[in-house]
Amino acid sequence: MALPPQLKPIQHHLRTAQEHDKREPVVAYYCRLHAMQTGMKLDSKTPECRKYLVKLMDQLEMMKKELSDNESISQEIVGNAHIENYALKMFLYADSEDRSGHFHKNMIKSFYTSSLLFDVLSVFGELSDENIQHRKYAKWKAAYIHNCLKNGETPQPGPIGMEGEAYDDEFGAEVGGPSQEPQNLPHSQPSFHGHPSNQPPVSNFSNIQIPPGSHAPANTPAEVPHPEAEPVKPVPVPRTMPVVDPSLLNNTQEGDMRLTPEDFTRAQKYCKYAGSALQYEDVGTAIQNLQKALMLLTTGKE
């Protein structure tokens, strides 16, 4: 069924859902959920729009049943962390390629898709200031690099002034084709382990903050090596274990302190980030996130 013209603003989120149906069904589900919620606000009364949205609702119900055993669907807080981590992973890959001066369609697509996934986070509530900045930067960067390459110009790597570049439907349509879909993010993805010295330089876009553990989204398969590569046995890397602050372990909640629902949500997200990091055996990041959760639960502060 063709998308009615009145619902054109949701076309890119629906395309992203289609691209992720097989390899990331959770991402596909929440992209469609966002599209449906946005579509209801755009036009739910015109017969053709109503018919389209009802069909989309049916598709969502079917997906929800198929994925009922998946915690990212059954528990909203887990779903939120899953989409946020996935969006940040795509953002970090594109940002690393950009800062290295590697401009290509796959990195443009990754910037653009990450901006759409930051949109999708609105199904869980208001976006954080950090994610609003990520979305704005990713959308602008994708359009800027796309237009430079289209006009035969060399883009400037890294954050620069954002004036004068506008996102347009033509750009979205051009990067949305299946031929440019990033099937697996290349091996050069950065792995930032939560320490400030490991973060990319932020230049003029100083407010971007990457949560520790965001490089390891939950349920993301490990990268598959190129077939021509010789098998290499992994070499154990000695780890320096961060010291857990003893004061955190002895802290008890103060009598007058009352944790808000937002505090519990943030604590759960830190625990989720820690779980994601452990999937990649990143002990340091896991401990840092658990310490943040413990600090928040015992003092009400971060």
For residue 53, the domain's CATH number is 1.25.40.270
207 within a domain of the structure (yes/no): no
Residue 65 lies in a domain: yes
In a domain? residue 42: yes
- Find the CATH number of the domain harbouring 272: 1.20.5
For the segment 244-271, the average pLDDT, to the nearest whole number, is 66
Question: Burial of 300 by CB count in 10 Å (0-12 exposed, 13-18 middle, 19+ buried)?
Answer: middle
* CA separation for the pair 180, 35 (Å, rounded): 22
Say how many C-beta atoms besides its own lie within 10 A of residue 179's C-beta.
Answer: 6
d(CA 255, CA 233): 54
235 occurs within a structural domain? no
Q: Which domain holds residue 286?
A: 261-299
Report the C-alpha gap between 64 and 183 in whole angstroms: 24
More confident site: 260 or 212: 260
**4 found inside a domain:** yes
Q: In total, how many domains does the chain have? A: 2
DSSP code string of 223-285: PPPPTTSPP-PPPP---PPPPP-HHHHH----TT----HHHHHHHHHHHHHHHHHHHTT-HHH
Closest CA to 223 of 170, 274, 186: 186
Would you say residue 9 lies in a domain? yes
From CA 274, how far away is CA 293, in angstroms rounded? 10
User: CA nearest 101: which of 177, 176, 157?
Assistant: 157
Give me the percent of the chain exceeding a pLDDT of 70.
67
156-205: per-residue pLDDT in tens?
998 876 544 444 444 555 554 433 334 334 333 333 333 332 333 333 34
**Last residue in a domain, options 27, 52, 74:** 74
Inside any domain, residue 127: no
Out of 59, 74, 89, pick the residue that ends a domain. 74
Tell me the whole-structure pTM to 2 decimals.
0.61
Helix (H) or strand (E) holding 65: helix 47-66
248 within domain boundaries: no
Q: What share of the chain is helix, strand, coil (3-state, %, to 5)?
A: 60, 0, 40
Listed residues 45, 74, 103: the one ending a domain: 74
